[in-house]
């Protein structure tokens, strides 16, 4: 009987997978684009999962600061943040320590605590979000209104916002980062598209190094260093490899074709 049950279950899974192909993906509302649910240990500790918004944080810090210096992994469940880590001043606790931040000149609320009273629980729920509230959406709307618009992703052109000085993400944090001179900019290069007539891709090291450091992409994401050593296609990118590690999850989505395929064939 158990066998029948299992077979049936397997059949059902297969059917629903079959059904799932060929359909439009759910379109996330702009305020949810790049939001991450962190639930490695929260629920076992009796807390709702953490709802992390990339849009809120990337106005203050570059990708590099958090993903290299503070040590947050780039893939789900790779970091395994514990409240004790935060309490010791690692991960979220690096900035969220209840003290005046020397970089931002604001007091950043404290992260986790071993014990908390009823009135302190409100602070917990700033990250461990109990239920969706429109306040989060409103905060996003207010922020997005001041930013250069973009049609996809979260509707904000971050590249422009940084250029215009509307956001000034910090790249180093005293006592955490290794204080070193800013990266020497590598040259931009073009990547030939596979289909004749499709505009080539201009890869701008400059645009990427504003937010990143070498070690974030090399060698984990892009193994080849010599031009042409890392061969990849749109299929790989769609599957979340290479450019797809960031683009489609936090950075502007892949559906914005012309943002990368922008070298007109005549310019070759």
Partner 1 sequence: MKNVTVTILATAVLLFTAVPYGNCAEPPWRTEFDETCAGTSEAMALSQSELQALIGRCERLQKIIEQLDESARKVFLKRLLMCKNLYQYVLDAKSKPPEPLAQ
Partner 2 sequence: MRLFSGTTYLVTALLLAVLAVSPAGKSEAIDRAELANVMQTIPPNGAFWKYGTLEMRRKTKKAGVTSVIFPHWSHRARYTCRVCHQDLGFSMRSGDTGITRSQNVSGKYCGVCHNGVTAFSVKDGRVRHCDKCHTKDTKALEQLFESFSSDLPFASFGNGIDWSAAIKAGKIAPLNSLNTGLPILPLPDKLKVPMKLGTSAARSDVIFSHEDHYFELDCSACHPDIFNIKKKGTKAFNMENNIYGNYCGACHMRVAFPMNDCKRCHPQMGGSYTP
The residues binding partner 2 (CB under 8 A) are: 1-2, 4-5, 8-9, 11-13, 15-16, 18-27, 29-30, 151-152, 155, 195-199, 234-235, 238, 254-258, 261-262, 264-265
Instruction: Report residue 189 CA to chain centroid gap.
Output: 24
Do 161 and 147 form a contact (C-beta atoms < 8 A)?
A: yes
In angstroms, give the least distance from the CB of 29 to partner 2: 6
Q: Is 113 in the site for partner 1 (CB under 8 A)?
A: no
Contact 51, 133 (CB under 8 A): no
Q: 215 contacts which partner out of partner 1, partner 2, none, CB within 5 to 8 A by kind?
A: partner 1
Cα distance between residue 248 and residue 162, in whole Å: 20
Give Cβ neighbours of residue 209 (< 8 Å, ≥ 6 apart).
Answer: 183, 185, 186
Only segment of 8-16, 38-46, 126-134, 183-191 that touches partner 1 (CB under 8 A): 183-191
Q: What is the rounded CA–CA span in Å between residue 124 and residue 146?
A: 29
Minimum distance, C-beta of residue 152 to partner 2, in the bound complex (Å): 8
**Least distance from partner 1 to the Cβ atom of residue 117, Å:** 18
CA-based end-to-end distance of the chain = 66
Instruction: Pick the closer one to partner 1 by CB: 149 or 218.
Output: 218
Rg, C-alpha atoms of the chain: 21
Residues at the site binding partner 1, with contacts judged by CB under 8 A: 68-71, 73, 79-80, 82, 84-85, 87-91, 94, 175-176, 178, 180-184, 186, 192, 213-216, 218-220, 223, 225-226, 228-229
């Amino acid at each position: 009987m158990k066998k029948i049950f299992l077979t049936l279950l397997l059949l059902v899974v297969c059917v629903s997978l079959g059904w799932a192909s060929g359909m439009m993906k759910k379109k996330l509302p702009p305020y949810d684009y790049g939001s991450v649910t962190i639930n490695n240990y929260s629920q076992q500790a009796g807390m709702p999962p953490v709802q992390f918004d990339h849009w809120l944080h990337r106005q203050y810090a570059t990708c590099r600061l958090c993903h290299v210096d503070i040590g947050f992994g780039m893939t789900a469940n790779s970091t395994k943040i514990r409240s004790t880590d935060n309490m010791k001043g690692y991960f979220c606790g690096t900035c969220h320590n209840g003290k005046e931040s020397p970089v931002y000149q604001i007091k950043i609320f404290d992260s986790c605590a071993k014990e908390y009273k009823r009135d302190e629980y409100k602070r917990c729920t700033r990250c461990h979000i109990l239920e969706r509230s429109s306040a989060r959406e409103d905060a996003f709307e207010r922020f997005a209104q001041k930013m250069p618009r973009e049609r996809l992703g979260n509707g904000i052109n971050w590249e422009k916002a940084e250029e215009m000085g509307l956001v000034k993400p910090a790249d180093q944090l005293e006592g955490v980062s290794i204080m070193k001179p800013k990266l020497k900019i590598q040259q931009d290069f073009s990547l030939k598209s596979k289909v004749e007539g499709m505009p080539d891709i201009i890869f701008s090291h400059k645009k990427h190094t504003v937010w990143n450091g070498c070690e974030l992409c090399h060698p984990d994401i892009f193994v080849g260093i010599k031009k042409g050593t890392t061969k990849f296609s749109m299929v790989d990118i769609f599957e979340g490899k290479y450019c797809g590690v960031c683009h489609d999850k936090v950075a502007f989505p892949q559906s914005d074709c012309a943002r990368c395929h922008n070298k007109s064939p005549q310019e070759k």
